[in-house]
Structure 1
Amino acid sequence: MFETSLTWNDVLFLLQGAGTTLTITFWAVLGGTILGMLFGLARATAPWWLNAPIGFVLDILRSVPLLIQFVLANSFKSILKLNVTAFTVGCVVLALYTAAYCAEIVRGGILAVPPTTRRAARSLGMTYTQDLTNIVFPIALRVALPSWIGLTLGVMKDTALVLWIGIVELLRSSQILVTRLQEPLFILSIAGLIYFLMSFPIARLGARLEKRWREND
């Protein structure tokens, strides 16, 4: 018969870690999406002298492993004596990392709009702003949504790396319990189930939105 030393308090400890994971994911995706939209729009429409430096910075954020970014940011925080928490560092670094990928998603969505469609809109008397809000953004959103959902789910899993800067999120809380109870398979299975329960609604919401848009076409 299966026996475990896991108590209800231990489960609550895991759920607290899951709450931290969701909170970091929320702020990282929110900040990263806002920045990514701005950077993506600049990448798709700005002149080369603005596009090139933005692209260079985003390439750095995408190329350097996220773990190294966490460690470097946390180290510079101590060197510069900045009065910010490890939680804030984790959210900022992950938001910038998210923005680097979101910018390419937005850029791809904007460039997916046929130039003939945009020219037709301008020929009807639409301004540049009206062209973007009424023509480009609705079409780009449909193109970009699946990739953005995938990015969001990836960010949620990447939050596990914040344990290296001292944040107790879901993975770190499960490691603490594994060390204390010596039941790795059972505890990690529970942690995996919690990750699934957090990710599944996001994936289904994205699928439902895509289906609704297809039905309305």
Structure 2
Amino acid sequence: MSNFANALSWVNISYLLKGFAITLEVSFISILISFVLGTILGIIRYVKIRFVSAFVGFIIDLIRNLPLLLLLFFVYFGLPNLGVRLNAVSATIIALSIFEAAMIAEIVRSGINAVSKGQMEAARSNGFTYSQAMYHIILPQALRKMIPPLVSQFISLIKDTSLATIILLPEVTFNAQLIYGQNVNYMIPMYVSLAVLYFIVNFLLSIASNRLAKRLAI
């Protein structure tokens, strides 16, 4: 118990929370970017624009089948060889956003496919253009179906930020490693603290998702 008490001193806890703030910041920005980009890519793949949709589909499949760590390495270590230098925060956001956008694009495409084809036909017969029907009729219905898988993907994104320790991003996992690096007896307390922090955020996100799903009567 003394190890826990010493490991969880105010100095260590404040340092851990400082890293956790970076984790949340990177996660929030990446979620916003990946959702917008993934939605656009998913729609493009769904509407089957000649050549464009096929190319977008190829890129999405390529990214989805690559390890996130490899993409992170490429953005942080590879891009400097092309003259683009990024700090750890920017590199992590870019890598996470690209990777998650590919995942979200498939969720969006599947969500739109789950909407009855008759909805589009009915909208067009009532004078809606294709774009209007998609925006006002199809996407709102598809979004209701997409909420559970989207939230699961966002939870994965938050947990995946821990991979950025490899490029020295000072997020919560990296800071925990620095703390128990000073005293190996702090390892278990730090792992427990990490588990608690990740659980709280992801559990709250799951609760919010469930409440939203019930409100929308999914």
Q: TM-score, normalised by structure 1?
A: 0.94
Q: How many equivalent pairs are there?
A: 215
**Stretch of structure 1 that moved more, 2-11 or 32-41:** 2-11
Question: Retained in 2: the 8 A contact 1:5–1:181?
Answer: no
Describe how 1:125-136 pairs up with structure 2 within 5 A.
125-136=127-138
SS in 2 for 1:5: helix
Question: Retained in 1: the 8 A contact 2:76–2:86?
Answer: no
**Stretch of structure 1 that moved more, 89-98 or 119-128:** 119-128
What is the aligned partner in structure 2 of residue 192 from structure 1? Answer: 195
User: Using the alignment, how far apart are the partners of 2:136 and 2:70 within structure 1?
Assistant: 41
What is the aligned partner in structure 2 of residue 42 from structure 1? Answer: 44
Residues 131-173 of structure 1 show CA distances to partners (whole Å, capped at 9, x for unaligned) of 1122101110011111100000000000001111111111111
What is the aligned partner in structure 1 of residue 25 from structure 2? Answer: 23
What is the aligned partner in structure 1 of residue 164 from structure 2? Answer: 162
User: Using the alignment, how far apart are the partners of 1:48 and 1:181 within structure 2?
Assistant: 60
Q: How far apart are 1:77 and its partner, in Å?
A: 2.9
User: Using the alignment, how far apart are the partners of 2:190 and 2:39 within structure 1?
Assistant: 39
**Stretch of structure 1 that moved more, 198-207 or 91-100:** 198-207
Q: Runs of 5+ in structure 2 lacking a partner?
A: none
Corresponding letter in the other structure for 2:12: D
Matched, 1:153 2:148: no
What is the aligned partner in structure 2 of residue 212 from structure 1? Answer: 215
User: Using the alignment, how far apart are the partners of 2:48 and 2:188 within structure 1?
Assistant: 51
User: Using the alignment, how far apart are the partners of 1:47 and 1:125 within structure 2?
Assistant: 22
Q: How far apart are 1:71 and its partner, in Å?
A: 1.0
Corresponding letter in the other structure for 1:197: I
User: Using the alignment, how far apart are the partners of 1:14 and 1:77 within structure 2?
Assistant: 30
What is the aligned partner in structure 2 of residue 94 from structure 1? Answer: 96
What is the aligned partner in structure 1 of residue 140 from structure 2? Answer: 138
Q: TM-score, normalised by structure 2?
A: 0.94
Q: Runs of 5+ in structure 1 lacking a partner?
A: none
User: Using the alignment, how far apart are the partners of 1:174 and 1:150 within structure 2?
Assistant: 25
SS in 1 for 2:37: helix
Question: Retained in 1: the 8 A contact 2:151–2:205?
Answer: yes
Residues 45-99 of structure 1 show CA distances to partners (whole Å, capped at 9, x for unaligned) of 0234111111111111111101111112211232233243121111001000010
User: Using the alignment, how far apart are the partners of 2:122 and 2:214 within structure 1?
Assistant: 28
Question: Retained in 2: the 8 A contact 1:73–1:89?
Answer: yes
SS in 1 for 2:128: coil
Corresponding letter in the other structure for 2:172: L
User: Using the alignment, how far apart are the partners of 1:79 and 1:194 within structure 2?
Assistant: 37
